[in-house]
Structure 1
Amino acid sequence: MNLGPAAAGANRAALIAAAREVFAEEGLHAPLSAIARRAGVGQGSLYRHFPDRIALAVAAFEDNVEALEDLANTPTTTLADLLTLITRQVVESTAFVDLARIEHADDRVESLAVRSEAALASRLDDGRAVGTVPPDMTSADVMLCLTMVAGAISGRPATQREQVADRAWRLMGITLPAFVEIAAERTG
């Protein structure tokens, strides 16, 4: 039964949830028809809510940025906490970083990237003050590191991503405590 406009909110939410899942499984360029099918709606409904792939991807990854901003606004949060969160997000779905890398000229995508960088920058000064962040490190440096980590795990099976992300961070001289705990659990 078609509920028409009465189902618009539920359809939009289902499309966003399906997009997050399908992008995580198949990448940013997964067929939009697969997303509509997973959401249980027709492609017409998808395009009514999201006129293009970028609009859908931005909506799907808005929660990632909001979670990063929320954590950054917690007074006891460290840069390592933020890097751990965003690394977990990238491990779950490399599509977010692919979106920022491929579609960076799009204002909608740029907004997500700027907000993410601002959240990370908010903790750089704190890290410098306690000596955990080099004095010359910038938020652009941190974003470059994230892009390198994402590149290292892109195309890898989901079962290998955490370990590869941890190795990539370590090669850059960065140890994320949560990933140390995960490695200890695997070897313990």
Structure 2
Amino acid sequence: MSRPIRKDAANNRAALLKAARELLSEQGLDVPLDLIAERAGVGRGTLYRHFADRTELALAVLIDGIDDLDARTRARGEAPEVFFWFVEELADLVMRNAGWSDVLRNVRSPDALTPLRQRLTEAGAGPLARAQAAGLVRKDLGPMDLRLIATLLGSGFQGADEAERRAVSARTRLIVLNGLKAR
């Protein structure tokens, strides 16, 4: 049986994730981890108690983003069209975190990606099922296809500046969203 997380530890983790999200978007992947700890108002030891390395931190930031997307999706209600909103927001999340793909490609253990993949599948399964039940989305898609959709939405960003990432993202969204619709 797991012990509940102490409130101060949970607050420290939340502060680290917030600082990481901000600094990574401001300075990129090479931002010193010490700077993230400093911005979060904690010591380096606290950062390493929560995250063993940059890859663990990257995964945590992405999972936190999926958790936020899930909460915002649920707040939009049960309308079948929410699935398309979910995909649009997923595209934004992927674009904002485009640089993390390099870190994720270098994950030593494929099992390390399991929590991220599960969280994405869980977050999108309900909206997908409702859209399919309403006849808006192809019936041959399954929740596991959300991983493929996220990968497609994040492709084409390597070496691209922000303007090019936005253009590639817009075109990819159009192609993906048209491909999802029921025929």
- TM-score, normalised relative to structure 2: 0.71
- How far 1:175 sits from its partner (Å)? 8.5
- Structure 1 runs not aligned, ≥5 long: 1-6, 177-188
- How far 1:168 sits from its partner (Å)? 1.0
The residue number in structure 2 matching 1:118 is: 122
SS of the aligned residue for 1:139 comes to coil
One-letter code aligned to 2:56: A
- 1:25-174 to structure 2, matched below 5 A, reads 25=26, 30-39=31-40, 41-73=42-74, 74-76=77-79, 78-95=82-99, 102-103=106-107, 105-107=110-112, 109-172=113-176, 174=178
* Percent identity of equivalent pairs: 33
CA-to-aligned-CA distance 1:117-175 (integer Å, 9 cap, x gap): 12212222322233321121222333212202212234422344333212012234538
The residue number in structure 2 matching 1:183 is: none
Contact 1:100 / 1:110 at 8 angstroms: preserved in 2?
Answer: no
Contact 2:63 / 2:119 at 8 angstroms: preserved in 1?
Answer: no
Pair 1:149–1:61, CA change in 2 (3 A) = closer
Contact 1:91 / 1:161 at 8 angstroms: preserved in 2?
Answer: yes
- TM-score, normalised relative to structure 1: 0.69
One-letter code aligned to 2:136: T
- Structure 2 runs not aligned, ≥5 long: 1-7
Taking the aligned partners of 1:175 and 1:21, their CA distance within structure 2 comes to 33
One-letter code aligned to 1:18: A
CA-to-aligned-CA distance 1:48-89 (integer Å, 9 cap, x gap): 332333432343234312223224433126210111121111
